[in-house]
Structures are given as C-alpha cells and as structure tokens.
Amino acid sequence: MTLVWPQLTVSAPALVFGAYALADGAMLMTTAWRHRRERRSAAACAGAGVLSVVAAAATTLWPGLTALALVVMAGTWAVVTGRLELWAATRMRHELRQAWPWRISAGVSVGAGVLLWLRPDADAETIALVLGLYALIVGGIRPAAARREYRTHVGHASRSWRRPASGGRTAH
C-alpha cells in the first residue's frame, strides 16, 4: 500500500508498519517455538519477535507519532531484528540446508534500517517508499526460503524410508 499511495499521512504508514511488525513478530515467535531445542537461535528469534510485537503495539497505540519518531523506531526495529535474524541464521546453519536466503533477508532488514537512520528528516513519501520496498523484498524472500527449506526437509525425510537396492525388506 505504501508503494501505491506514498502521499498518505504519516499515521497510515505507521499503521501499515504496525501490522507488518505484528505479523513478522508472530512468525519469528513461531520459529522460536519450533526451534526451542536450539536455545540460542530460538532466543534470538524470540527476541526479534518480541521487539516486533512491541514496535507494532507502539505504532498502533500512537499512530500520530511524528515522522521523526516513526523513522527512528522503524529504523531501530529493522536494524535490531535484522541483526538478530542474521545471528539466528548463522546459528542454525547446520539445521538449515540453505541459510543464504535468510541471511539476505536479514541484510535487507539492516540496510533498510540504516537508510532510515541516514535520512531521518526525509518526508513521509520517502519513508513509505523505503518501508514498502523493504516489505516487498523481504516479503518475497522469506516465503521462498521457507518453501525451499520445507522441500529440502520433506525430500530428505522421504529418502530415509526407501527400500534397500536389493529389493528386500529390512526389519526395523
């Protein structure tokens, strides 16, 4: 929405950012729960998820924040969650067959946050453009990476149940 209508007021991008941060936080906390046995990577995902939910709550409760406050909060959120996601992807490199899409997603997050920090005086349209492009890129990378990871794990799991090459069955 922010890419289509960048001239909207600051409160609309704040609410869109809040909705995105809430969804992102829910996904990160779900990932933390699924990987709770790997304590450090789960803690990183959970920390990023909690930060996302807090950022979502703040922007939803106070959508009339000034543009500067929104830029600082969105930039901080993007940098911190990006670094935590990068740390989690690095820690889970043995569990993830292909960690590079997750690292790219984290890098884009950090890059968007730094862009927002470099120009906190930018107008609402520029802020909306940066946040919209960030959401578009990361919103494309993450589902594709999750699908690849799912296919890899499903393919790996199904290979373990194949019959021996001789055609005979083995007792388990």
Number of domain units in the chain: 1
Q: Whole-prediction pTM value?
A: 0.56
List, for residues 21-51, the tens digit of each pLDDT value: 899 899 889 888 888 887 777 888 888 889 8
| Contact indicator for 153, 97 with CB cutoff of 8 Å | yes
89 part of a folded domain = yes
Q: Taking a C-beta distance cutoff of 8 angstroms, is the pair 126, 119 a contact?
A: yes
Residue 4: inside a domain, yes or no?
A: no
* Spatial contact of 123 and 70, defined as CB atoms under 8 Å apart: no
Is residue 133 a part of any domain in this protein? Answer: yes
End-to-end Cα spacing for the chain:
55
Residue 66 belongs to domain spanning? 11-156
Q: In terms of Cα–Cα distance, which of 102, 88, 108, 107 is closest to 147?
A: 102
Asked whether residue 61 is domain-assigned, the answer is yes
CA nearest to 78, candidates 11, 20, 12, 4? 20
Residue 3 maps to a domain: no
pLDDT tens sequence across 48-61: 889 889 988 888 78
Asked whether residue 113 is assigned to any structural domain, the reply reads yes
Structure tokens at 84: 């935590």
Any domain includes 15: yes
Q: Has residue 167 been placed in a domain?
A: no
Token output for 19 = 């909705």
pLDDT digits (tens, 9 = 90+) for 73-130: 888 888 988 888 888 778 776 666 677 787 888 899 899 899 888 887 777 677 778 8
